[in-house]
Amino acid sequence: MAQVYNWQLGREMEYPYGEGDTTRQFAAVFNINRCIACQTCTMACKSTWTFSPGQELMWWNNVETKPFGGYPHHWDVNLLSKQSELDPGGQTWDSLRSATPTQPYGVFNGKTIFETADGTEARVTGYLPPEDDWKAPNIFEDAATKFPKQGATLPVHDGWFFYLQRICNHCSYPGCLAACPRNAIYKRPEDGIVLVDQERCRGYRKCVEACPYKKAMYRPTTRTSEKCIGCFPRLEGLEPLTEGLPTETRCMTSCVGKIRMQGLVDVGADGQWLHEPNNPLYYLVHEEQVALPMYPQFGTQPNVYYIPPRWVPRDYLHQMFGPGVEQAIDRYTNPSRELLALLQLFRAAQAVIFRFDIEQGPKVNEITVNGRTQEIFNDTAVGFGADGNEIVRISVQEPFFERPGKQNSI
Ligand code: SF4
Ligand code: SF4
Ligand code: SF4
Ligand code: F3S
């Protein structure tokens, strides 16, 4: 086992391989607060990549209703329970330490899925879901914890649920890759996308067992496993719409609720994201710290980040997103001027935004949120593509158009 640094845990951890040679990393931010569970993203992926025989139970993108839903059923509860059994009382955070750039959320004291594995029978702790568990991807949709007699109020709703959008996290330390005895899984250096080599795969399913997010899936017709490919042809600029520029994935660009932003971040020789505060992904994750990894304690350093839902009990969110939850919700509820402007860029363009700028505008409003007064400025967020040229600009205040008095015949 090598020692690698996992910034989400604030410490080094054991992993079967070193940091690798990734120079850029696929990453995304999902704003849970805005998702309407329309499943357009789910169908965009299905109709593009998994419509063939043998792929009937495969949903590389799925949106499940928490806390009861799950695809496959109870994927997270099953692994959380197993980790607790193997590391009794150990799955805790030492978040009282003062935050530093390399330890923004303190230190995770417990063992990861690589560290609870015995290393002989399995390199990674996991489990193989039975086939039936994959058959109802949207089970318990819209099921709340209870129906409150009173209306719902913030900061925490009495009866609650929320939608959780899930794709492969293209992890920095993938469980699937670590577990494959055939070395059939690899991480592309140019964008960090994790792929299964279909020529090498022999269907051992160790990847299915080891992925903590259950995003590697077995296909019985080919007897191989498959997974989200990060829509890599689009990232390579093969989508005609954006004329050679890297394009966001199918599930991102189709998002009706405008909850998703995807991008590429530069990675240094130490495996960490380079300090690039004008990259929108870097800004949301490392500068504002408003977007958090899902189940960071598993240890794979996932690269999809979530703005947590404001109305959900904090202990539940703490287990799912780690110690940064209170701060992230606070910053989202009372956003800085920069954050409010940047949030407008979600789904404003199809091409990947590599850099953003904010042009300041006049003050247009003053509102009170949770007892705090907040000034609203009509700033403009500008997004730049891979070639450095401007691809989109959008202001905080939506433009107002007055229709002419005389209507046309339609
Ligand atoms: Fe592998 Fe799962 Fe991580 Fe995707 S989410 S890279 S399938 S471990
Ligand atoms: Fe599917 Fe592409 Fe989204 Fe992956 S990135 S879930 S392959 S649409
Ligand atoms: Fe949610 Fe967007 Fe998917 Fe609709 S398309 S379910 S809003 S993530
Ligand atoms: Fe390896 Fe998974 Fe195939 S473990 S052999 S990639 S099914």
For the chain, which domains are there? Answer: 2-339 (3.30.70.20)
Output the CA 117–ligand 3 centroid distance in Å. 35
Ligand 4 atom 3: residue of nearest CA:
201
pLDDT digits (tens, 9 = 90+) for 174-195: 999 999 999 999 999 999 999 9
The reply to whether ligand 3 has any atom less than 6 angstroms from the CB of 185 is: no
Cβ 83 vs Cβ 117: under 8 Å:
no
- Report DSSP state, residue 390: E
Q: From residue 158, how far is each of 139, 161, 334 by CA, in Å?
A: 22, 10, 23
Question: Strands 260-266 and 24-31: what pairing?
Answer: antiparallel
Read off φ and ψ for residue 362, nearest 5 degrees. -75, 160
Outline where DSSP puts E strands in 167-301: 185-187, 194-196, 216-219, 224-227, 260-266, 292-293
Ligand 1 atom at minimal distance to the Cα of residue 175: 8
Ligand 1 atom at minimal distance to the Cα of residue 227: 7
Ligand 2 atom at minimal distance to the Cα of residue 60: 6
Phi-psi region of 37 (alpha: psi -120 to 50; beta: other; left: phi over 0): left
Ligand nearest to the CA of 27: 2
User: pLDDT tens digits for the chain (410 residues)?
Assistant: 899 999 999 999 999 998 888 999 999 999 999 999 999 999 999 999 999 999 999 999 999 999 999 999 999 999 999 999 999 999 999 976 677 888 999 999 999 999 999 878 889 999 999 999 999 999 999 999 998 777 788 889 999 999 999 999 999 999 999 999 999 999 999 999 999 999 999 999 999 999 999 999 999 999 999 999 999 999 999 999 999 999 999 999 999 999 999 999 999 998 999 999 999 999 999 999 999 999 999 999 999 999 999 999 999 999 999 999 999 999 999 999 999 999 999 999 999 999 999 999 999 999 998 889 999 999 999 999 999 999 999 999 988 888 777 776 66
Predicted TM-score of the model (pTM): 0.96
Cβ 235 vs Cβ 193: under 8 Å:
yes
pLDDT digits (tens, 9 = 90+) for 156-177: 999 999 999 999 999 999 999 9
Residue ranges lining ligand 4, Cβ < 6 Å: 179-180, 182, 184-185, 196, 201-207, 224-225
Please choose from 29, 30, 41 the residue to mutate so as to test ligand 3's pocket, defined by most ligand atoms within 8 A of CB. 41
Ligand 2 atom 7: residue of nearest CA:
228
The reply to whether ligand 2 has any atom less than 6 angstroms from the CB of 167 is: yes
Ligand 1 atom 6: residue of nearest CA:
170
Number of Cβ within 10 Å of residue 359's Cβ equals: 11
CA atoms within 13 A on the CB side of 159: 10
The reply to whether ligand 2 has any atom less than 6 angstroms from the CB of 283 is: no
Output the CA 65–ligand 1 centroid distance in Å. 21
pLDDT digits (tens, 9 = 90+) for 225-267: 999 999 999 999 999 999 999 999 999 999 999 999 999 999 9
Please choose from 180, 195, 223, 228 the residue to mutate so as to test ligand 4's pocket, defined by most ligand atoms within 8 A of CB. 180
Ligand nearest to the CA of 126: 1
Output the CA 21–ligand 3 centroid distance in Å. 33
What would the two tokens of residue 300 be? Answer: 């794979």
Q: If residue 332 lies in a helix (H) or strand (E), which one and from where to where?
A: helix 325-333
Instruction: Reduce the secondary structure of 65-107 to three states and give it as a string.
Output: EECCCCCCCCHHHHHHHHHHHHCCCCCCEECCCCCECCECCCE
Number of Cβ within 10 Å of residue 44's Cβ equals: 19
What would the two tokens of residue 65 be? Answer: 């209703």
pLDDT score recorded for residue 406: 75
Ligand 2 atom 6: residue of nearest CA:
61
Output the CA 114–ligand 2 centroid distance in Å. 26
